[in-house]
Structure 1
Amino acid sequence: MASSLILNVLQGNFDSVLSLPDEGMVSMFKTLESSGLCGFLGFSTAIYENDLVNFFENAFVRKNDVINSVQVQNRERVEELKSELSQKITKLELAFAQSTSQQDMVFRAQINDVRREVQIQKAALKQELTASRFETQEGFSTLRAQLSEIIAYINRGRDDKKGKGSNSGPQPEDRSRPVGGGGCGSRSEPSKRGSSSYKGRVTTSSGFSRWFS
């Protein structure tokens, strides 16, 4: 009952305000009416004073809907944070992709360097093996030639010894000379020396026999 009376009184006062001759006041109250705040005029300001102050500070009416500006600001802030977070995530993804590509390039360069070094070492080893093979073949050829010379030298020495042995053999006996008579037979030189020494011994013994007789 009391609230209806207050509503009637305030509504009447509000309608009377709109009929004032002051255009500025009328325009202000019409703007207030268009904002949808007429519903608050039916209640006592002493009861809802804090709510009205909070409303005027942090709310507004849009299409007959009361919107809290604090919530809107929080939502806008959340959207900004989401946008910033998505941008940071995008930057991180780009940085990670760039670092991954750089690491791939570094790894590929290192692998190519290792392959190149392996190829160089392989070529050098192949060249060394070829050179050592040639040296081994040359060594075998030289050794074979030296062995051939040694074998030929041994064969020549053996042939020379055979030739000297055949030349120093016993001479054939000369049958044209007489066998006996005056010691000029066909005996060898050692037999002659033996006979001469025997004759010497005979003459010496005959001399001693003559001395003692």
Structure 2
Amino acid sequence: MTSSFYNNSQHIDFDSVLAMDNPGMVSMFQALMASGLAGFLGCPAVIYEAALVDFFENASVREGVIISTVAGQLVEISEEWFAESFDLPVDVSLSGKKSQMKVEYRLLCDIMAKSISVKTGSFNAITVEKFSMVTAVVCGVRMNWARVLFNILKKMVTPRSNQAKGFAAQISLLLENIPNLELGESSEFPASKIPTEKTVHRYVSLNDKGGAKEAADAPLMKKAPKKRPAAADFEAPVIKKKRKMKKKSGSSKAFWR
């Protein structure tokens, strides 16, 4: 399979990951399901490579609809059909308001903004795209995922956009549902790209080792050279030997310099 079609794609086996003995990971995957992304991320993992090649080579966007030709047949993908195919939320758009968050995360937002950021102006805006997506999932912010994901797909198929190919399983499913479309042979989505209980454990293990390796590879702090004892602020008086005299000389006095 052409790697460009799955390097930036993932399919999630929700049944497997939700059975993990890892509360943190299970909570994260449950949040993905609650956000309405289960149908998109967990769709059937079947790939039609030849059809995908045709789709991306011939695709363009016209009046908000993706148009392409696959095996000589016209293909049109609208946002509405895209949303319906994966049962994606369509009724809410991300406004960036903390009022959409669960109350515990509203408090966290205030703590971070007012106690750490310490800046004037609105504390309610979520401005970074990827961070806002993660925030929407974890904090339960309702989002129009249909529009977000369809806009990403439109960028993928825009000529000269230099966007990486992705959504391999999702596009394959859409093409599979077009009547009388010849798709050619199918192949399974690479197992290494499917988060399951096994691959997630491996991911955790590799990242833990990576963190340890980074610490091991970090430049060692040079040990500070041992300081020599500080020189005395004075020198011990030197007692000069005197020649023996018939009379005993008085003891010499010592002077502090």
**TM-score between both structures, scaled by the size of structure 2:** 0.19
Greater Rg by CA: 1
Q: Which has the higher contact order (CA 8 A, sep 6+)?
A: 2
**TM-score between both structures, scaled by the size of structure 1:** 0.22
Greater fraction of residues in helix: 1
